[in-house]
Amino acid sequence: MKNLISMRDLSVDKILQLLKLAASLEKDPSQINLSRRVMAAMFYEASTRTRMSFESAMKRLGGEVIAMVGTSGTSVEKGETLADTAKIMARYSDIIVMRHPMEGAARYVSEQVDIPVVNAGDGANQHPTQSLLDLYTILKSQGSLEGLKLALVGDLKYGRTVHSLAYALAPFKPEFHFVSPKSLAMPNHILSDLRKMDIQFKETTKLDKIVNSIDIMYVTRIQRERFPDREEYEKVKNAYIISAELLKNAKDNMKVMHPLPRVNEINTDVDSTKYAYYFDQAENGVYMRQAILATLLGEAK
């Protein structure tokens, strides 16, 4: 594993190895030492969890971080290209973690440099490190990844986390319910890939019909920044609002997940229910990202 660009590049064995290492690092981070190693964070888009949890992961393993937080104050403002910026970062660091609004940007950068590159989100395309931490979170909450019934809810068109998650879960024979407004349905190329893999899925606009039979409700924010037309966003922005009342007859094991940030799609009254799992999910990002950094830097035992 030289880079981490897309879930489609990872074998099931590699996914299972990363899950095992994340669990082991959660118990004992002292087993990996990344001292004198430097991670370059190249974030051309806003982030709280992904960048901070990568920084926390690197520093808790003894490593160092240099960070480009947005393009303001960098030479991108003077017109420096992505390729040139990445080539410079590769001379200052041992691994690049990057987020960029352009689909395919991380793969492009991985072809320009000879150090590992991690895709921390490329436009509406993929967010593989989020999916790996999501798998880890699902495994911890359900005890298994096999044969789960999941509702993926909200913006399935522009939400890169759900695109990656569909591929990440596919080897574990899930039953997917894709719940979205019709205009924000899961892209056809992903549905077509799922059909080829013989994965069961249904598309619906109605969450209340399935809420009591699912194991995981994975809620996403309507991605305002990716809508070409503001009026279209206004039409769908309140499509799903999860409340404690909606969950009152949910299965005991059911967990609500969300990659965060949330806007209004999960009421704060859900936070104190046994179903809320999104803050644990964000914490799990540190353990999974430690596993990813250690593996790509050749330090995983």
CB of 261 vs ligand CP, minimal distance in Å: 6
* CA nearest neighbour of 223 among 154, 170, 272, 120: 154
Strand blocks (E) in the chain? 38-43, 64-69, 95-100, 117-122, 149-153, 175-179, 200-204, 216-219, 255-257
238 phi and psi, to 5 degrees?
-110, 30
198's torsion region: left (phi>0), alpha (psi -120 to 50) or beta?
A: left
By CB under 6 A, tell whether 48 contacts ligand CP: yes
From residue 201 to residue 240, what is the string marking binding to ligand CP with x (rule CB under 6 A)? ----------------------------------------
26 vs 16: CA distance, rounded Å? 15
CB of 229 vs ligand CP, minimal distance in Å: 23
**Catalytic residue numbers?**
49-50, 78, 99, 127
By CB under 6 A, tell whether 50 contacts ligand CP: yes
CB of 157 vs ligand CP, minimal distance in Å: 17
The single residue among 4, 10, 18, 47 that binds ligand CP, judged by CB under 6 A, is 47
By CB under 6 A, tell whether 144 contacts ligand CP: no
CB atoms within 10 A of CB 32: 22
By CB under 6 A, tell whether 6 contacts ligand CP: no
H or E, element range at 55: helix 49-60
By CB under 6 A, tell whether 135 contacts ligand CP: no
The single residue among 70, 101, 147, 261 that binds ligand CP, judged by CB under 6 A, is 261
94 vs 122 by CB, closer to ligand CP: 122
Give bridge partners of residue 126 from the DSSP assignment: 122
Note the residues at the interface with ligand CP (CB under 6 A): 47-50, 121, 130, 259-261
